[in-house]
Structure 1
Amino acid sequence: MNVQPTNIEIREQSTVLALTWPDCGTRLLEAETLRRASRAASEIRRQIDGIELVIPPGLHVSAVEPIGNHALRLSFSDGHDRGIYPWSYLRELAGQH
């Protein structure tokens, strides 16, 4: 299912991404959850190498960029900006399959 959200907001001092879906309402995702869930190649390599991700205090979403009609690129206050999050993956992270 590739349902696109009808609204995307950054809330709570940029620590929460709010996505409103036409079929299940608004779901909130914490910046830390999103950062840990990044599928960027550098993050997958870090995980394979067993290097723990250290989340800095006050981590927040610093930018949201649409990627066509299928995904978002999120940038974080720790400098990570390579993660692309397809709509289906964001729904999975929010517990809405």
Structure 2
Amino acid sequence: MNIPDHVAIDASSASLSIRWPDGSAAQLPFAALRAACMCAQCRKRKYDGEAPLSRPDVKLLDARPSGYGLQLVFDDGHERGIFPWVYLERLAKGERNDVV
């Protein structure tokens, strides 16, 4: 498992900054992260053909390490999804894959 050595919320660019041990880095926009949430509630919405609950101006308030990934806390009250490191890495590479 590739675990980042640096994670920071960058409010000025509205993105989560991640740097991995190999030196690669990514900026993941808050709105894209919110739309990519894989918690049970968000998965159900996607499977039911409903749009993700996200706004273009959503803010990320906290990124809490949670063993195998990050629990992201958004200003819309959503904080149920844990984003595994491998999923964040795939999102950073543009490889959105709903199976982690």
Mind listing any 5+ residue stretches in structure 2 that lack a counterpart? 96-100
Is residue 88 of structure 1 aligned with residue 61 of structure 2?
Answer: no
Residue deviations 1:43-94 (CA, integer Å, cap 9, x gap): 01111122222433521111111112x2100011111111111111000000
Residue deviations 1:9-45 (CA, integer Å, cap 9, x gap): 1003472000010114221100111111111000011
Higher percent of residues as strand: 1
Q: Which has the higher contact order (CA 8 A, sep 6+)?
A: 1
CA distance 1:79–1:41, shift in 2 (3 Å): same
Aligned residues: 95
Check conservation: 2:31, 2:55, Cα contact below 8 A: no
Identity %: 35
Check conservation: 2:35, 2:53, Cα contact below 8 A: no
Check conservation: 1:3, 1:21, Cα contact below 8 A: yes
Scaled by the length of structure 2, the TM-score of the pair is 0.84
Scaled by the length of structure 1, the TM-score of the pair is 0.87
CA distance 1:5–1:96, shift in 2 (3 Å): farther
After the TM superposition, which segments of 4 or more aligned residues of structure 1 sit over 4 Å from their partners? none
Separation (CA, whole Å) in 2 of partners of 1:72 and 1:96: 18
